[in-house]
Amino acid sequence: MYNRIAHIALVVKNYDEAIHFYTNKLDFILLEDTKIDELKRWVVVAPPGAKECSLLLAKAANKKQLASIGNQTGGRVGFFLFTDDFNRDYDKLRNQGVTFVRPPKKEPYGVVAVFKDLYGNLWDLLEPNEKNKGVIR
């Protein structure tokens, strides 16, 4: 038996601005953008090289969903972007205008800094140390 998480839904205000942020600021790849009807699209983005999981950008459809934009995890870090070269990607993201809310810090599991996406969701940029490569924390 084989199970996996394929997509994580991320509620967004606008498809195009979200696509722009993830593809131009984070250098994700637009994997799919399919119109479902006049209001809904199936939009999937992922970091280059991602094999298992991607983000499904889901446009808010009502007031409750609009209220969750930028706070889907109650203010906690909810997304984790692993890197094989922390300094390269930290500098690149800063140069792209990505806002870091916690500076780089060496932790027992690796080097990490926290940034926010265009709506304020918190992300870890994380380079796991050798002991923890491949480990999901």
pTM: 0.90
The total number of residues written for the chain in this structure: 137
Q: In CATH, which superfamily holds the domain spanning 1-69?
A: 2,3-Dihydroxybiphenyl 1,2-Dioxygenase, domain 1 (3.10.180.10)
Q: Residue 26 above 70 pLDDT? A: yes
Topology, domain 70-137: 2,3-Dihydroxybiphenyl 1,2-Dioxygenase; domain 1 (3.10.180)
Note the pLDDT of residue 34: 98
As a whole number of Å, the CA-based R_g of the chain is 15
Residues 92-107: pLDDT tens digits? 999 999 999 999 999 9
Mean pLDDT of 8-25: 98
Q: Residue 136 above 60 pLDDT? A: no
The answer to whether domain 1-69 and domain 70-137 are alike in fold is: yes
Percent of the chain predicted with pLDDT > 90: 88
Please give the residue that has the higher pLDDT: either 134 or 127. 127
Q: Sheet of 54-59: strands edge to edge? A: 7-12, 54-59, 41-46, 29-35
Q: How confident is the model at residue 49 (pLDDT cuts 50, 70, 90)?
A: confident
What residue segments make up the domains of the chain, in order of their start?
1-69, 70-137
Q: Which long-range contacts (CB under 8 A, 24 or more apart) does 71-75 make?
A: 71/120, 71/121, 72/10, 72/11, 72/121, 73/121, 73/122, 75/122
- Residue 101, Cα to own-chain centre: how many angstroms? 15
For residue 23, report the phi and psi dihedrals to the nearest 5 degrees: -85, -30
Arithmetic mean of pLDDT over the chain: 94
